[in-house]
Each structure stands twice: as C-alpha cells, then as structure tokens.
Amino acid sequence: MGYDTASRSDVESIIPEDAGGMWFLKEGLETEELGLSVLELESGVEGKEHDETETGQEEVYYVVEGSVEVSVGEESVPLEGGDAIRLDPEESRQIRNAGDKRATLVLAGAPL
C-alpha cells in the first residue's frame, strides 16, 4: 500500500484535556523522518518551552484557527489563523494561546 492514514482519535493526547490536547500522528502515519502533530490550546495556556538542538529537527507551526504567540528566544511572534512559522532546531520556542478561544495548530518537524 502506498499510503497510511491516521486520526487524532487513534492516539491519546499527551497533555491534559483541560489545557486542550496534543496528538502525535507520526507513528500512525509510519513516517520515517517527518513528525506531524495536532495541538489545541485553551485560552491562556502555554506549551512547553523547548528547542530541538539534540534532534536537529526544524519545525513548522501552522495556525488553523485562533491566535497564538510563539516565543522564539527573546522575541514574541504573534500568529493568527492562516499564519505559519518555521523554526531552526537550536531556537528556544514556546507556544501560548493569546486569544480568548481555543487555538488549533498543526505542527510538522523533520531533521535538516
């Protein structure tokens, strides 16, 4: 078969439901390099601050709906539905829902 499918309902969220939800789809899609996740954050909730130096993975965050701020080092980058940001592996990053409703993002990452 030349394709695989996955749904966020196939996997458990790695963050508590009251914060939103985060579902990793890489395993279900059986990708070798590309990671794909769906992230939902309730208003005012922050994701984990991290970088990808160890994995060498660049990431792209696409905001499906809502508004978020992505802290990149010392800078805060506001994003609205339809916006995307690409992040170098060594950049520290953290996503925060800056809006008054749940934000939904699709996150993709792969080693350089």
Using the predicted structure, report yes or no on whether residue 1 has a pLDDT greater than 90. Answer: no
pLDDT tops 90 at residue 2? no
10 Å Cβ neighbour count for 17?
A: 9
Residue 19 lies in a domain: no
Please state the domain count of the chain.
1
The mean pLDDT value for 77-91 works out to 97
Q: Is residue 16 part of a domain?
A: no
pLDDT, average across residues 16-44: 95
Query: CATH number for the domain including 95?
Result: 2.60.120.10
Q: How much is the average pLDDT of 31-53?
A: 95
d(CA 27, CA 9): 13
- Predicted confidence (pLDDT) at residue 89 exceeds the cutoff of 70: yes
- For the residues of the chain, what is the DSSP string, one character each? -------GGGS--SS-GGGEEEEE-HHHHT-SS-EEEEEEE-TT-B---B--TTTTEEEEEEEEESEEEEEETTEEEEEETT-EEEE-TTS-EEEEE-SSS-EEEEEEEEE-
User: Which pTM was predicted?
Assistant: 0.93
Is residue 98 scored above 70 in pLDDT?
Answer: yes
Q: Which domain holds residue 70?
A: 35-111
- Give the pLDDT band of residue 112 (cuts 50, 70, 90): confident
- Tally Cβ neighbours within 10 Å of residue 24: 19
User: Is position 47 within any domain?
Assistant: yes
